[in-house]
Amino acid sequence: MIENFLIQCKTRKMEVLQFLVAAFGGYVFGIIVMMIIRANIVEKECVTLGMLIGMIILVFMHFFGITFSFVREFNMALSMGATRKSFVGSYALFNMVELAGLELLLFVLGKIELALISVIYPQCEIILDVTQYFQWKYLLAVIVGMTVVELFLGAVILRFGMKAFWVVWAIWMFLTLVPVKLSENEVMAAKMHQLGEQIGLENIVQYLFAAGVVAAVIMAVLGWNLLKKQRVTV
């Protein structure tokens, strides 16, 4: 597995470079937008917009890029004699190391942005500092969660083709957009708020975390079962 991991390090250097460029590009763009906004408003409020935009771009690029990269690399590795276990293990390990490095980069960029804001706009109040959410438990959850989801979707595409991907995408969009639409309804929003107060914020977080762990385990098991039976589809 170590040998396969070293191969991943060599073959995926360009991938890492692309993610770095995307992060820096989004970061610089966000800072420029923030400066333009500050030049045209009088409110003394700021957000770490550079870090936020860089993070959003990076998440989308990584999600789609790794999903389809895994499909391509899986076929290539197996056609060259690699075992499923060694390839998937090394690919997942590299993916987690890569995500950890990107998280560290975003955190450093966020701190630099905060320093720039304090120098350029000393009277500005920071109303959103994304770096405060960079706690180890959240970072670890993102690393493991994204790796599991990306490889699971890759396994689904390998087994069922692109139609399955769009089905999963539709389900994901439904789960993310429907709650937003419901919250826009005043009656539903009031009921959801009341329910949230009854359950308690800490309990809700724990329930969501538990649900996420269960979902990750299920996807990991299903994904591996699909990959064990998957043939090369080049």
In the prediction, which pLDDT does 64 show? 87
Nearest to 82 by CA among 161, 7, 16, 11: 7
Q: Taking the domains of the chain in order of start, what are their residue ranges?
A: 2-229
Mean pLDDT for 217-231 is: 87
pLDDT digits (tens, 9 = 90+) for 74-125: 888 888 888 888 889 999 999 999 999 999 999 999 999 999 888 888 888 8
pLDDT at residue 215, rounded to an integer: 86
Q: Which pLDDT belongs to residue 92?
A: 92
124: three-class secondary structure by DSSP: coil
Q: Residue range 10-24: average pLDDT? A: 90
CA distance 71 to 155: 7
> What pLDDT, on a 0 to 100 scale, did the predictor assign at position 18?
92
- pLDDT score, position 196: 59
The pair phi, psi for residue 92, each rounded to 5°, is -65, -40
- Convert the pLDDT of each residue in 140-191 to its tens digit: 989 999 999 999 989 988 888 888 778 877 877 776 777 666 666 666 656 6
Residue 147's pLDDT is 94
Write out pLDDT tens, residues 23-44.
Answer: 999 999 999 988 888 777 766 7
> How far is residue 196's CA from residue 206's CA, in Å, rounded to a whole number?
13
Identify whether the C-beta of residue 49 lies closer than 8 Å to the C-beta of residue 30.
yes
The residue with greater pLDDT, 210 or 14, is: 14
**Who's near 53: CB < 8 A, 6+ residues apart?**
26, 27, 29, 30, 33
Angle at 31 between CA 15 and CA 21, to 5 degrees: 10
Q: For a pLDDT cut of 90, what percent of the chain falls above it?
A: 28
